[in-house]
Structure 1
Amino acid sequence: MTDFSTLLAGLPPRQGFGDATLIRLEPGSIDLGGGNPDTALLPVDVYRDAFDAVVTDATFPSLLRYSPAPGLPALRAAIAEREGVDVDRILVTNGGAHGLALAVLSLLDPGDTIVVDDPVYPLFLRVLDLVPGVKVVPLAAGPDGVDLEALAGVLAGGIRPTALFTVPTFQNPSGGTLSDEKAAALVALAEQHGFTIIADDPYREIAFPGFTTPAHRAFRDTDRVLAVNSFSKTLGPGLRLGWLVVPAGTSERITRLRNRLDGQTSGVLQAVVERMLRDDRLAPSIAAAGAGYAAKAGALLSALDEEFGDRVSVAAPGGGFFVWAQLHGDVDTERLFDDAQTLGVTYQRGEWFAAGGADHRGRVRLSYSEPDEASLREGVARLARAYRALA
């Protein structure tokens, strides 16, 4: 039998979030647990035109060669312009998960400490498995992002983290958004105490009409933030394209790491996205998608109110893909999840987002991004029937 490395042998199987063995999606079931965008809200016409322009251009054959490890210069320049940073700080990645892996491997050593959102995006904890022995310190994240008073208490208590991980805009799962003032204060703490912020921001452009998304300029004006982003929520996860905004002067070293992993991102896809970013139809399309998601969120919230009444607490999101609801009452959450699936609806259990602080029992993450409004209402009705049968 093959002897695997200590790292590979020690990687645990998926448990809870992302464990497909726990999900029963029978025909007719409604999935309120996923994070897919609605393909009807994606800019398919812009895609088609960009692909056509790329493959019919005389320079197309050159895109079939190996491309530069940091990314095609034209795409890096387009992203840098949108981010408001120097182009040398942009590295193109194969999606957000790839960017998170590069961030973790660039910043952390075995035995280091990292502070993370609680509730946390669970797949980030699995990325941390790449560096055995990393200590995780949970930090409460609410409607206005991470709790800076709690962070100050952690630091005053003598904990010296190497990094802090947060989703600063429409946080997954809570939906919270860090204000510009809190972002600046968080950066000040990072500079004072010498830790680096990993800011994972894939939902930033999925804003509802009337919501002003904070610019978080403080994240760009410091060498204490490594920002991770992805086109997965605006252009679709099948694209597998994202980017990093790295601290000034670090791109060469992080590229060395990237060269030892995958080496490059598809030049063809980069050229397509670069054309899309220059298409005047893209921004209105993304704004229209935000309005579409707002309508879906409204349908989901209305259904929760009708079906659960005062037995549920939930904050209305300003964007993103999820509602983070608290179901009240002493209910066996494992049985509720199983019974709900028997009735034809699945979701994500709150316990699966615990980072080691609160257990989030009784919480549910409900996704409104992919189902239509009728399915959202029916899904909540099925969940309520399972809940009432137990409560």
Structure 2
Amino acid sequence: MWKPDRHNPKPLYEQIADHLEQRISYGEFPPGSLLPSERKLAEQLGVNRSTVILAFGELRSMGIIESRPGSGTRVSKFKWGAVPKHTPNWKRYAEGGSFLPNLPFLRRIREALQQNPALIDFASGELSADLAPIEEMTELMGTNPYPSYLGYGHPQGYMPLRQAVASYLDRYRGIQATESSILITSGSQQSLYLITQCLLSPGDAVAIEDPSYHYSLPMFQSAGLRLVRLPADEEGILPEEIRSLHKKHRIKMIFVNPNFQNPTGTLLSDDRRGALLEVASELGLPIVEDDPYSLTDYEGIPRSPLKSMDRVGSILHIGSFSKMAAAGLRVGWMVAPHSIVERLADARQQMDFGLSVIPQQVAARFLESPYFEPHLHRLRTQLRRKRDLLVEALQQELPDSVRFHVPQGGIHLWCRLVPSVSDAKLLEEAIKKGVVFVPGSVYGSDSGYVRFTFGRAKAEEIGPGIAKFAEALRGLTDSFPTVKKAK
């Protein structure tokens, strides 16, 4: 977000006025549109309200904006001496369409992080910069920095990357796949989007874990799908429930995250993996296996994916670089029957004519390089350390007020608060204290659960971050015990 330059000799109010005039001239604020209030704009820009009042006064004197008591400040409809006769109602368009916006809590978290980057971030599901193999990738690209061709690539993705992914899946995940059964995507999110848009129809019912990251994705509702919750406990989903849910709702597909599930961090037990495959095969149901966290297993012995046990071809396996290397590469993959790959590749080509070849080349080189395994070892070590710091901080700050299962991999820790408090009030109070997290209701749970993601925060921020969270929590109730600080 733009902010005025305090080292610029031009007064702050003039910088703000110039910036707003530019945005108005570009059509970002069309004639008649409402501007942010003086107080809100001052908070966003980090200036005094009086500075914004001066900036608005400057624009008002030029006839660019107009203010009316009780109606706020709007862009003048009489700018340049002409009345626009057919200005589109952009507000109506922004609120229309079939693709739904993100959930309000997620939009609030994003807004808070944009306004105050200093917030300690337990919300973002990505790795911190120090965990990404930046130096290794830079060195790999330095040996041959540019691909020989920069035109549109193959609809399924860069061939050397598909070959590298096939080797990776065989070596690390026990999955047998050829490059023709692999589709390269811009991360797991695009894989899910293609599946919901191309393989399912409005009105179809799909089963998701309860709670589930998938519950937080409006793309399912945008596609007109009905979400059916599949009960789960500390060992993962209960496969025996699928038959009754299928009979009642005619489920068309099952979405699971069996290894260090988001948000709970649980592992689907071996017995239940076999039972899930058996019931899915019996009912002829495809399973979408979202598997981003397996290689973060802190013991270094990742649990085998469901796809490695698949003998009838019923599983669509999704993977990504985001949780094991760098989210910014935007490289993911899907393993599926060739007919499905062709269908989704055709759809994806209509969307963007394929991914950029450069990040695909970086990913291919990194997968096949001698840097890959040492990076995984360092990643697991650092994530385990962050998890331990988080657990230690929760036990110290809120010893009798949170209940949680300690994950053995992944980047999430799922907590139940005792007693429960309002998600909205707790989030706002935490933001005031300087920390953000994701309320559990985002993932379909009842109020009183929170997800702490420890991949993004720096190790030295974790303790202070939980202290801020505890302060916010105690500010909402007097039933929490006094914290006993370690000597």
Q: TM-score, normalised by structure 2?
A: 0.73
Structure 2 residue aligned with 1:108: 200
Does structure 2 conserve the Cα–Cα contact (< 8 Å) formed by 1:199 and 1:227? yes
Structure 2 residue aligned with 1:382: 468
- Structure 2 counterpart of 1:67, from 141, 145, 153: 153
Structure 1 residue aligned with 2:412: 322
Structure 2 residue aligned with 1:10: 98
Deviation at 1:390, TM superposition (A): 2.2
% identical aligned pairs: 28
Structure 2 residue aligned with 1:161: 251
- 1:189 is paired with a residue whose SS is helix
Does structure 1 conserve the Cα–Cα contact (< 8 Å) formed by 2:256 and 2:289? yes
Does structure 2 conserve the Cα–Cα contact (< 8 Å) formed by 1:85 and 1:220? no
Aligned equivalents of 1:255, 1:333: Cα separation in 2? 40
Aligned residues: 381
Deviation at 1:305, TM superposition (A): 0.9
Distance 1:349 1:153, change over 3 A: same
Map residues 200-211 of structure 1 onto 2, 5 A cutoff: 200-209=290-299
Structure 1 residue aligned with 2:223: 131
In the alignment, residue 344 of structure 2 is paired with which amino acid?
Answer: I
Deviation at 1:110, TM superposition (A): 1.2
Q: Deviations over 1:159-210 (max 9, x none)?
A: 3211111112111111112234422321221121122111111122222135
1:286 aligns with 2:372: no
1:369 aligns with 2:425: no
1:121 aligns with 2:213: yes
Aligned equivalents of 2:338, 2:148: Cα separation in 1? 33
- Structure 2 counterpart of 1:172, from 243, 251, 262: 262
Structure 2 residue aligned with 1:229: 319
1:186 aligns with 2:186: no
Aligned equivalents of 1:80, 1:210: Cα separation in 2? 21
Does structure 2 conserve the Cα–Cα contact (< 8 Å) formed by 1:324 and 1:364? yes
In the alignment, residue 92 of structure 1 is paired with which amino acid?
Answer: I
Aligned equivalents of 2:400, 2:419: Cα separation in 1? 11
Structure 2 residue aligned with 1:82: 168
Deviation at 1:92, TM superposition (A): 0.7
Aligned equivalents of 1:269, 1:333: Cα separation in 2? 38
| Range moving further from structure 2, 190-199 or 256-265 | 256-265
Distance 1:12 1:266, change over 3 A: closer
Does structure 1 conserve the Cα–Cα contact (< 8 Å) formed by 2:215 and 2:442? no
Deviation at 1:362, TM superposition (A): 0.7
Distance 1:125 1:313, change over 3 A: same
1:296 aligns with 2:383: no
Q: Deviations over 1:252-311 (max 9, x none)?
A: 233222222222111222222111111112112112101100000001011111111122
Higher relative contact order (CA 8 A, sep 6+): 1
In the alignment, residue 318 of structure 2 is paired with which amino acid?
Answer: V
Aligned equivalents of 2:124, 2:393: Cα separation in 1? 18
Aligned equivalents of 1:385, 1:70: Cα separation in 2? 50
Does structure 1 conserve the Cα–Cα contact (< 8 Å) formed by 2:208 and 2:230? yes
Does structure 1 conserve the Cα–Cα contact (< 8 Å) formed by 2:121 and 2:435? yes
Distance 1:338 1:109, change over 3 A: same
1:47 aligns with 2:137: yes
Does structure 2 conserve the Cα–Cα contact (< 8 Å) formed by 1:231 and 1:241? yes
Aligned equivalents of 1:21, 1:373: Cα separation in 2? 21
Does structure 2 conserve the Cα–Cα contact (< 8 Å) formed by 1:141 and 1:174? no
Distance 1:30 1:240, change over 3 A: same
Q: Deviations over 1:210-243 (max 9, x none)?
A: 5542343445433211122111112211111111
Structure 2 residue aligned with 1:94: 186
- 2:400 is paired with a residue whose SS is helix
Does structure 2 conserve the Cα–Cα contact (< 8 Å) formed by 1:206 and 1:289? yes
Structure 2 residue aligned with 1:276: 366
Deviation at 1:24, TM superposition (A): 2.9
Structure 2 regions of 5+ residues with no counterpart? 1-87, 170-175, 478-487
Deviation at 1:312, TM superposition (A): 1.0
In the alignment, residue 369 of structure 1 is paired with which amino acid?
Answer: G
The higher radius of gyration belongs to 2
Q: Deviations over 1:96-154 (max 9, x none)?
A: 2111111212321111110111111157631213422x211011233322222332432
Does structure 1 conserve the Cα–Cα contact (< 8 Å) formed by 2:210 and 2:232? yes
Aligned equivalents of 2:321, 2:302: Cα separation in 1? 20
Does structure 2 conserve the Cα–Cα contact (< 8 Å) formed by 1:204 and 1:213? yes
| Range moving further from structure 2, 86-95 or 313-322 | 86-95
The root-mean-square deviation of aligned C-alpha atoms, in Å, is 2.4
Does structure 2 conserve the Cα–Cα contact (< 8 Å) formed by 1:103 and 1:226? no
Structure 1 residue aligned with 2:345: 255
Structure 1 residue aligned with 2:483: none
- 1:52 is paired with a residue whose SS is helix
Aligned equivalents of 1:255, 1:27: Cα separation in 2? 37
- 2:431 is paired with a residue whose SS is helix
- 2:277 is paired with a residue whose SS is helix
Structure 2 residue aligned with 1:147: 238
Does structure 2 conserve the Cα–Cα contact (< 8 Å) formed by 1:140 and 1:150? yes
Aligned equivalents of 1:101, 1:286: Cα separation in 2? 28
Does structure 2 conserve the Cα–Cα contact (< 8 Å) formed by 1:312 and 1:327? yes
- 1:243 is paired with a residue whose SS is strand
| Range moving further from structure 2, 159-168 or 144-153 | 144-153
Does structure 2 conserve the Cα–Cα contact (< 8 Å) formed by 1:200 and 1:228? yes
Does structure 2 conserve the Cα–Cα contact (< 8 Å) formed by 1:50 and 1:273? no
- 2:430 is paired with a residue whose SS is helix
Does structure 2 conserve the Cα–Cα contact (< 8 Å) formed by 1:114 and 1:136? yes
Structure 2 residue aligned with 1:196: 286
Aligned equivalents of 1:249, 1:219: Cα separation in 2? 21
Distance 1:301 1:23, change over 3 A: farther
